């Protein structure tokens, strides 16, 4: 039996229930951490809330945070409902997900490894915690980073990023494996852009903490 954290992107959250059930049927303990990127963007646009970036990262003010939290909670509730009695939704700032504030980004935190009793208790009861990634504050956190930080905190064996991409591409080819040091070199050289950047940064940190990480077909190892 393995303890696995599945990070599910907002674009594929509705399609992930089958994968969760497969992992549980195989005997794994499963924790789901989900995003809500498309849903947040759509709601911000609907409310006419502008977006400001600081060195490529979204600045989060109170109005933005309200949308972020509301959208994430809605996605988590939908996913937990699809899983039915198998799952329980846990909202991060209500269960003690910890983060280090990043003041230059506003109401944002960098997630820290932690062991929420609610997550461990759900696993002990044979349930799948569906974790909505908001840090105590509340503060906005990157869902990819939240997944890897939680995995390190609860001694997970593996983190699997469930996304709509096949893996980490380099020169048009999906890499079967990439070492953390090489990934850091490429990130520093700005070889990658878009959504793969936070995933790979989070994966590197987790790999260096001893957690096996998979981004699609790519394994990230220390």
Instruction: Please write down the HEC assignment for all residues of 13-39.
Output: HHHCHHHHHHHHHCCCEEEEEECCHHH
**Helix residue ranges per DSSP H, the chain:** 17-25, 37-46, 62-83, 92-95, 117-124, 143-153, 180-188, 196-208
SS3 222: coil
pLDDT in 10s for each residue of the chain, 222 residues: 899 999 998 676 667 888 899 999 999 999 999 999 889 989 999 999 988 877 657 899 999 999 999 999 999 999 999 999 999 999 999 999 999 999 999 999 999 999 999 999 999 999 999 999 999 999 999 998 999 999 999 999 999 988 777 889 998 899 999 999 999 999 998 888 877 888 888 889 888 888 889 988 899 988
Whether residue 138 is preceded by a cis peptide bond, meaning omega within 30 degrees of 0, is yes
**Domain segments of the chain: what residues?**
3-164
Question: In this structure, which topology does domain 3-164 adopt according to CATH?
Answer: Carbamate kinase (3.40.1160)
CB 76 within 8 A of CB 132: yes
């Amino acid at each position: 039996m393995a303890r696995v954290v599945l990070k599910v992107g907002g674009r594929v959250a509705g399609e992930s229930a089958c994968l969760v059930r497969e992992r549980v049927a195989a005997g794994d303990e499963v924790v789901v951490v989900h995003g809500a990127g498309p849903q947040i963007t759509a709601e911000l646009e609907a409310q006419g809330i502008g977006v400001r970036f600081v060195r490529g990262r979204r600045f989060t003010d109170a109005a933005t945070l309200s949308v972020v939290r509301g959208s994430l909670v809605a996605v988590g509730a939908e996913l937990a409902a699809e899983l039915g009695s198998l799952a329980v939704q846990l909202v991060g700032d209500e269960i003690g997900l910890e983060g280090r504030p990043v003041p230059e980004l506003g109401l944002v935190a960098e997630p820290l490894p932690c062991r929420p009793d609610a997550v461990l208790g759900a696993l002990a009861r044979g349930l799948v915690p569906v974790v909505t990634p908001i840090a105590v504050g509340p503060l906005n956190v990157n869902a990819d980073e939240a997944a890897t930080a939680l995995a390190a905190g609860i001694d997970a064996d593996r983190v699997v990023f469930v996304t709509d991409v096949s893996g980490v591409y380099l020169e048009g080819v999906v890499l079967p494996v990439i070492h953390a040091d090489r990934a850091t070199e490429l990130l520093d050289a700005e070889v990658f852009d878009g959504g793969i950047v936070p995933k790979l940064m989070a994966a590197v940190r987790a790999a260096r903490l001893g957690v096996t990480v998979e981004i699609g077909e790519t394994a990230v190892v220390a």
